[in-house]
Structures are given as C-alpha cells and as structure tokens.
Amino acid sequence: MSVFSNEFNVIYIRVVQSCNLNCTHCFTLGDKDPLMFTPLDVIEKYLKAIRKNVNPQKATFYIHGGETFLAPIPYIRQVTALIHKYYPDIRKDIVPQTNLTFKIKQDFIDYINEDCYGSLGVSWDADIRFSNAKQEELFFKNLKILLDQGIKVNMAITAQRHLLKYDPIEIAKKFEGVDSIDFELLTTFDEQTRDLKPNNKLWAAWLDKLVDYYQHNEVSWCLPQVDLFTKTLMHGQLYECKCNCCDKRTFTLNPNGTVGFCPDRTYIEPQAHVDVLVNNWPLFEEKAAKIISEKMFDEQNQMCFDCEHYDICGGNCDSTLFDETDECPLSKQVVSRVRNNIDRFAHLYTTRAKTNLVELRTDYEQD
C-alpha cells in the first residue's frame, strides 16, 4: 500500500530558478539565484513518474518559480502541454503563480485564458516583498488589468508580523474582485524568517476581524482556511490542514531536477533526483514514509490536546509556529467563530467557496 494519497494531489513544477524580487521570507535566493529554466525532458520524466506510480484522481498543478514569467510564454505553454499529455483524463487545474511585477502583455493574458482555465495565483506581502513604491504600484496596476479581463485571481499572503501593522479590512478592500485570499503560514528556516513570526494572539485578533468582515459583508473573495474548517464541520470528516499534508499528497520539482514534497522545503532539502522517481520509485517512497513517520512522533503542542477544536483541526501545525501565548497558529478564536455561526459559514462555503476555489471546482471537462 502506498504512503501517498491519490484522491487529490498537488504537483508543483518550478519552471524557473531566479526571480525579479528578493522577498525577505522566500525560501529561494530570489534575484541572487542564477537564471535557469527547467529542461522539458526533466519535467516530462517527473510528470510521467507521478502518473505511473501515484495515478492521481484529481490534481492541481502549480507552475512556479522563482518568478514563473521570467520564462518565455511559448516555453510555459510547452510545460502545460506536457501536463495535458500525461493527465488527459483526470479532474485537474493548472495554476501559474506570479508576483505580478512585470509588464503584462497580451500573450500573458491569452495563456492564462487558453491554457489555465482563466485562473492565476498571485502573491503579495506587506513590507517584505517590494523594494520600492514603483514595484507595488506596478503590482496593483497589473492586478486591475487582470480583474478587468475577467481573470480569476487567487491571492496568497504570508502571515507575518509586518502584516499586523495594517487594518485587515483595508487590506481586504485592496483585493476586492479576486476569487480568494489565502493567508499562508510562515515557513521558518533561518534567523531572518524567524524574526518575521507574528505573535499568535495578535495574529488571531487580526484574522478574526477579517473573518467577521467576511461573515457579515458581500465580498468577491473567500478565505480557504476558514472554508476548510467549515467543510469539516459540514461533512463530519477531518480534512487535514496545510501544515502536515505535503508529504502525503504533494510533489515539487526543482529546476535542477531534484524532487521533494513541501515546496518550501524542497528548495533547501530535496529528497531525490527525478531519475530516482523513474528508475527506483520505491526508494523515493521510502523517503516519504520516513518523513511522515518522524512527523507522527514529533512532539505535538499540549495546547492542541487541550483545545476544544482538536476534532476539526487535528493539531498538526509545525511546532516552530507556536509561541508563549495561549493562541495557536491557525487561531482558536476564528475556529470558534466558525463553529458558533456554522449556518452562515456553510452558506458562504456553498455559494462562494465552491464557486471560487479551484480545489472545489465541479465544472470540469475532459481534454
């Protein structure tokens, strides 16, 4: 029996090494990395091996970097064609991820519409992403162009201490028109990233204010982590949060041909070369089994066991994300709000999240 789930897989293809930015929290070297595009034959081996050995029933393919669109559009279209070649008959989404800090041309818009079901992942962060005001102005100018063109934009924002300086409702208003706003938990791997950790009690209050706004107002976007908890409560089934599911369902390819699971960790600690996936898949699976086993026996925070929400959360946050407060990284305060107002959040899940989130799409067509 495989250690990997195939009900739903997340498959990252890092097509570009290097970036046009140098974000404080990023696991890559940003613009210090030498520019490199992943060879198409390496991508083909990777996709073919996962199809053969995991055989996903449903998958989201993230085309990633560095900055994805440092690569020429014709090359990225070839990558997309390989996805369709090896996964022609499954429910899938193809989502390129970008920092949106470059001049948008028509071939970019055409690619998103024609190859990616009109969906795009966009990253923004408070104070740790842009080196000058012009970059951020360009970002929001481009965001408006995308929304005016009807592109479905899914925002990713890192939960870090600088974000808490800003009013959450004003932040949300900046992104009215997007389909989702996902607050990603911080990955800490050095002093610089550890310095960005938010105080969990302050983070919980900040997030709860935003969720209150989501609960009581008509907005364009949904909140994936909130919707995940809602789904658990509606269906009576624990859906693992994003802290610990990577090693069971997620795969990441680096431009140099190395492969791992968590996209953040794979850049720093890859588990194998793509040739191992082709020639010795059991060895690759052994590495996954070891990581999963180690995490199972990793010391869980006592707060999780004592928490009234353990049944819908599972207590799977990375231990480095806890602090001295009585709050957790995912916010007990927010989960309490969802539980106490489940009818409203169930309505939002059914009418908004199921329409907006690529993971919940039902309008699939065979290629």
Mean pLDDT of 350-367: 74
Could you list the residue range(s) of the whole structural domain that residue 152 is in? Answer: 9-217+244-297
Q: Give pLDDT, residue 244.
A: 54
pLDDT at 367 over 50: no
The answer to whether residue 305 is domain-embedded is: no
Q: Does an H or E element contain 258, and which?
A: strand 258-260
The answer to whether residue 359 is domain-embedded is: no
Quickly list DSSP for 286-322: HHHHHHHHHHHTSPPPHHHHH-TTHHHH-S-S-GGG-
The encoded tokens of residue 201 equal 């009690």
Decide the pairing of beta strands 152-159 and 250-253.
unpaired
* DSSP state for residue 362 in the 8-state scheme: -
The answer to whether residue 312 is domain-embedded is: no
Q: Higher model confidence: residue 291 or residue 56?
A: 56
pLDDT at 241 over 70: no
Q: Give pLDDT, residue 236.
A: 79
The answer to whether residue 363 is domain-embedded is: no
Q: What's the domain count of the chain?
A: 1
Q: What is the pTM of this model?
A: 0.92
The answer to whether residue 331 is domain-embedded is: no
Query: What type of residue is 74?
Result: P
The answer to whether residue 106 is domain-embedded is: yes
Each residue's pLDDT tens digit, 184-206: 888 877 888 889 999 999 999 99
Mean pLDDT of 340-345: 97
Which has the minimum average pLDDT: 142-156, 238-252, 347-361?
Answer: 238-252
Backbone angles phi, psi at 35, to 5 degrees: -70, 130
pLDDT at 233 over 70: yes
The encoded tokens of residue 243 equal 């802290």
Q: Is the Cα dihedral 255, 43, 261, 12 positive or negative?
A: positive
The answer to whether residue 200 is domain-embedded is: yes
Q: Give pLDDT, residue 297.
A: 57
Distance in angstroms (rounded) separating the CA atoms of residues 306 and 315: 10
CATH number of domain containing 109: 3.20.20.70
pLDDT at 63 over 70: yes
Q: Give pLDDT, residue 253.
A: 97
Q: Give pLDDT, residue 32.
A: 77
Q: Give pLDDT, residue 359.
A: 73
Each residue's pLDDT tens digit, 256-296: 999 999 888 888 889 999 999 999 999 999 988 888 777 66
